[in-house]
Amino acid sequence: MDQIVIFCAKYLFAATILVLFVVWVRATRRNKVEIALASLLAGAVAYILIKVANGAYYDPRPFVTQHINPLVPIGADNGFPSEHTVFTMTLSSVIYLYNRRLGVTALIITAAVGISRVLAHVHSPIDVVVGVVIGAVAGVAGYAIASKLVGRFKE
């Protein structure tokens, strides 16, 4: 079981990149530009929100407070928010807004990543929940901005 948790906690986030690539390949030419732009803008928004949240709140990683070994090697720094969860949720939000079916798949990946980060003792549940919120906000913001920008060019 630990090996599954370790895999999900360390590597599963990369599956959202693959799902995003599939959505991008299937998209129309105009949507390809919009998806790429939305992803980049969402990433920028996520980065800013992570920095703000990280500076506003300190949550020591569970392995530090519980005096146990984490399943994934990581520094004993601020675990708030879970950057892996933010990353997967940001991409999952963008994916969902362009392709609902694959978006649901990406959201399941996000849930697996977040849960595994908690089970690996590197994040507390609040780190993951806030990561989901930040990722959703960033994904929707990236989508909204990209839609407006691309919409201006096609008119």
The confidence band for 151, taking pLDDT boundaries of 50, 70 and 90, is confident
The answer on pLDDT for 154 being more than 70 is no
CATH code for the domain of 141: 1.20.144.10
pLDDT tens sequence across 38-55: 999 999 999 999 999 999
The pLDDT score that the predictor gives to residue 36 is: 97
Instruction: For residues 70 and 52, give the distance between their C-alpha atoms in angstroms, rounded to a whole number.
Output: 26
Instruction: For residues 135 and 141, give the distance between their C-alpha atoms in angstroms, rounded to a whole number.
Output: 10
Pair 74, 61: CB distance under 8 Å: yes
Determine if the pTM surpasses 0.85: yes
Question: Tokens 């963008």 correspond to what residue?
Answer: 94
Range of the domain at 23: 2-154
Please give the tally of structural domains in the chain. 1
Q: What percent of the chain has pLDDT over 70?
A: 97
The answer on pLDDT for 155 being more than 80 is no
